A and B are shown apart, each in its own frame.
Chain A
Amino acid sequence: MCDREIVLRCLKTLAPALTVAAITIASLAANTYVQYVVSLCLVAAIVGGSLVLIVGLTRVIMLASGAVMAVGAYLSTILLQQYGMPYPASVLAAGAAGAFVGLIVGIPASRFRGHQLAMATLVFQFVIIIGLREWSSVTGGAAGLHVPPVEIFGHRFATDRDYLALIGAVTALVVAVLGVIVTGQFGKVLRAITATEVGAEAFGINVTGFRLAAFVISSMVIAGAGALLAPRVRILDPASFGFESSILMLAYPIVGGMGSIWGGILGGGILRALPELLRGGAEYQDLIYAALVILVMTFFPGGFVGALARAFAVRPAPAPTMRLSPAALARPPSVEPPPRADSAAPALEIVGLAANFGALRAVDDVSLRVDAGVIHGLIGPNGAGKTTLFNIVSGFVTPAGGTVRLFGRDVIGEPPRRRLRSGMTRTFQQVCLFAPLSCVDNVILGLGRTSIRRTLCASVEETFGSAAYRRRKEAALAALDAVGLVHRAQDSVLSLSLGDQRRLEVARAIASNPRLVLLDEPVSGVSHEEQAKILALLRRINAERAISMFVIEHNIHFIRQLCTRLSVMASGRILADGSPEIVIRDAAVRKIYFGESWQAT
C-alpha cells in the first residue's frame, strides 16, 4: 500500500471535519444573525453525525435525542451555575452523563428488537421531560433555567462571533472523531451486524455489546452537544427538548443519508437551518418539515448523500468472474503449515449429543470424531439433523445433552462468538455475508479480534494506515488470493455470483487461520464446472494451511472425492461412519439415502 493511498484515505475520512472548519471560518466574517444560525446548525451537525451510528448503522429508531440533549444541557448548566465548575469540565461531565444515560437506555437493547427498543427510547424521552418539569427546585421547572455566559481561561464569550468560533472548533473536532468511528472498522462492524447477526456472531462479534456501544457513544456526543448549545440559547426549558425535538433530530440522518458521516452532518446542518429559512410561514414549518422527510424517504432512499453519490457515480465496468487457473491450483504451498501444538487431540469430538425442537428429536445421541488435519464429510437426507448438528457445534443451538469438544476443550454453553478464539469458523448453507461491505472488509472482519476496544483502535489505525492495519489487510488479501478472488477485493459482495459468494465465505472462514472449518453445503447451487474448482480449492487449503474441515454436502460425487472420512446421518442418528467408498456402498446407507431397496444390493 503506497503512501498516497494512505493520505487519500486519511483526507477522505477527515474531509467532513475540514468542511466544518471551513464553514466556520467563512461564517466568522458574516453578520451576527448568520453567525447565530450557523452555530445552531453546527450543533445539529454533531447530533446528526452521532445519530448515524444508531439510526443509520444500527437501525434503531431513536426517539430520545431531545431528552439526552436535555440531560447534557441541564447538567452542565447546573454544574456551571451552582458548583462553579469551569465550562470545559462541565461539557465533559455532560458527555459522561450522556454515556451513562445511553447505557441505561441501551441495556434493554440487549433484549429488545425493533419496535420495543424504539418504545424504550420513547419512554425515556417522556420520563426525562416530566422529571425536568416536576423537579423545579433544581431545573427551574416549566419556567426554565438561565444559562450564565461562558468563560474559558479568563476569556469571556460574549458575542455571536465568539460562540461561533468555540462551537465551530468543538464541532470540527467531534466530527473528526465520529468520522473515524463511522468510516472505520467500528462502523463496518455495525453494518455487518445489521446485515446478518448470525454471521457477525459466528465471526466473534459481540452483537449486543456493539449495539450498546453505539448507543453509549451516540448519547455521549448528543449530551455533549446539549452542553455546547446551552450557553448559546441562554434559557433552557423542558419544552424545547420535548418529543417533537426528538422527531426533528431523527430526521437528520434520514434526510442526509444514513450510511455515512456526511449524511448526518449534512442532514443536521440543512434541517436545522430550515426553520430560519421558513420564518415567514412559521405555522407551516412542521408540516413542510414532515413533508420534506417523507418525500426524501420516498424518492431518495439514500438521502441527500445517496442522491449526490448517484448523480456523480462512475459506473465501473462489470468485472469478469476470474476462474482459478490450473497453474494457481497446482502452485506449491505458499505458506508453511502453521505448527499445531496440540495436534494429538481430535479437532472435534462429539459424545452423546441430543437436541430437541418441541417434540421433534433433531439430534439423537450422536457421537462423532473429526480427526485433526482431515476433511470429514457428513451426508444424510433432508431433515436428518446435519445443520442442527453444525449449529450446536458452532454454538447457535444449545443441546439437550451431550458434550462437544474442540481440540480437547469442552465448548458447550459458550456463545458462538467464542468459537473463533477456539480456532473454529464456519460457512452457511444460505450465504451469510456482510452485504454492505466490500469483499476485503468481509474477510478483515473474518480475522476476528473484534472486541469493542480493539475495533475502536482499529478504526484509528485504518484512518492513518498504520502497520497493524496493513498487516490485517495483507492477511485478508492472502485469504482472498487463496480462493481466487483477490481481483474483486474492493467490489461489493452483491456484485458477486453465487459461486463467488461461496468462495468469499470460504475466504472469510480461513482468514484467521482456524484449525477447523465447518462447511455447510459449499457447492449447493453452484455450476458443475465451478464445483471442480471448489473441490480443488478446499483440498489445497486443507493441505497448505493444515485446516481440518467438516463438510455437509448433498452432492455425493463431490463429497466422495473431497473427504477422507464420511459419516451418514438419518433421523438425528449416525447411521454409518468410515472411509467414503465403504460407507457409500453400505446397504443401509443406500436404502436411506438413495432409496434403493435391500434386494437391489
Chain B
Amino acid sequence: MDELPQLLLGGLKLGAIYSLAALGLVVIHKATKTVNFAHGALIMLGAYFGFFLLQLFGLPYALVYVLAPLGVGAVAIGAERILLRRLRRSDAFSGVVSTIFISVALTEMIRIGYSTELMSIRNVWPGAPWLIGNLVITPETLWVLSGALGCALAGALLFSTSRLGRAMRAMAANMRGAQLCGYSVDLVYAEAWFLGGVLAGLAGLFLAPAMGITPELANITIVPAFVAAVIGGFDSVRGALLGGILLGIVEVLSAAYLSSAGKSALTFTILLAVLLWRPEGLFPEARVRNV
C-alpha cells in the first residue's frame, strides 16, 4: 500500500485533464444541445497544434499555451459555422451524427500527414522531482495538476458567471425566449463551440508530454471525456469537474491493481451503472421544474 499516495497523485493528474476534457463537452452540450462526438479529435488537434508551434516554429511554451487552444477553438467554430449550423436547421439528430464524421475527417487528415511517427514534445517544466516522504512529485505533475485544474475552474467560472455564460444557459433553457430577449443564436452557438474547443485544446496540450502525440488520441480521449461528463450528469459544470477527477483516480488505481483490460472494463461498468441507476449523474445541478 506504500504506492497508494503516489497512485492517487497520478490519478489526480489524469483526472484534472479529464475534467478539462469533460468540461468542454458539457459546455457545448449545455449551450447547443449537441453531443460533440468530435471532442476527442479536438483534444488530439490541441496536442498536434502544440507540437507544430513548439517543434516547427520554435515558439516558447507560454505562447504555445495561448495559441494552440485558440487554434482548436477556431477549428471548432469553423465546424459549427460551416457544417453544424446548416444541419441544425433540418434536425438535431443530423447535427450529432455529423460530429462523428467530423471526428473521423479531422483524425484522418492528421493521420495522412503524420501516419507512422509517434511524436512527442518536451515537458513544460523539466527538472528534478521533489521528495515528500515516499511521494515523488515531478515539476511536470505539479504543472499539469495545477494548470489543468486552474483552466477547468476558470472555464467553469466563465460559463457560470459571465454574460456569455448566461446567454448560453438562457439559450439552452428556451431558445425562442432567449432570442426574444435579444440573444443571437448564431453568436451564442459560436461562442459555446469556441469555448469548448479551447478547453479541448488545453486538455490536449496538458496530455501531450505524457501520452505522446498520435492520431489515436482522438479515440483514446473521447471515452473518458464522455464517462466523466456522464458521471457528472452531462449538463453540470461542477459534475464534469468532479467526474473527471473521480474517473482519473479510478483508472489509475484499477490499472495498478487489476490490469489494463480491467481498467477499461471498470470504466465501462461505472458508465453503465451511472446511466442505469442515476441517469441525472452523481453531481446534478439543482433542477427547477418547468410548470
Interface residues of A (CB under 8 A from B): 59, 61, 108, 111-112, 114-116, 118-120, 122-123, 126-127, 130, 133-134, 243-244, 247, 250-251, 254, 283-284, 286-287, 289-291, 293-294, 297-298, 301, 357-358, 360, 362
Contacts and interface: CB of A to CB of B under 8 A. Distances in A.
Contacts of A130: 261, 264-265
Interface in B76-110: 83, 86-87, 90, 93-94, 96-98, 100-102, 104-105, 108-109
A246 B226 CA distance: 18
Given A114-B35, A126-B264, A284-B112, A250 B97 contact: yes
Contact of B289 (A111, A118, A250, A357): A357
B202 interface: no
A115 B264 contact: no
Q: Could you tell me the dominant secondary structure of chain A's interface residues?
A: helix
B137 interface: no
B289 A358 contact: yes
A247 B104 contact: yes
> For B35, B83, B102, B268, which residue has the most chain A Cβ atoms within 10 angstroms?
B268
Given A126-B268, A284-B112, A61 B96 contact: yes
Interface string B269-286: 001100110010000000
Contacts of A290: 101-102, 104-105, 108
A133 B112 CA distance: 27
B176 to A, nearest CB: 14
9 A-B pairs closest in CB distance: A287-B108, A115-B35, A290-B104, A290-B105, A357-B291, A293-B101, A290-B101, A123-B268, A286-B108
A123 B264 CA distance: 10
A105 to B, nearest CB: 10
A115 B288 CA distance: 22
Nearest to A298: B86
Given A283-B115, A284-B112, A122 B223 contact: yes
Nearest to A60: B93
Contacts of B90: 301
Contacts of A123: 268, 271-272
25 contacts: A61-B96, A61-B100, A108-B272, A111-B276, A112-B279, A115-B96, A116-B230, A118-B96, A120-B275, A123-B268, A126-B268, A130-B264, A243-B219, A244-B104, A250-B100, A286-B111, A287-B104, A293-B101, A294-B83, A297-B97, A301-B87, A357-B289, A357-B291, A358-B289, A358-B291
B222 to A, nearest CB: 9
Contacts of B48: none
A276 to B, nearest CB: 18
B261 A360 contact: no
Contacts of B288: 358
B112 A294 contact: no
Contacts of B108: 284, 286-287, 290
Contacts of B271: 119, 123
Contacts of A115: 29, 35, 96, 234
Given A283-B115, A357-B291, A127 B104 contact: no
Contact of B261 (A119, A134, A298): A134
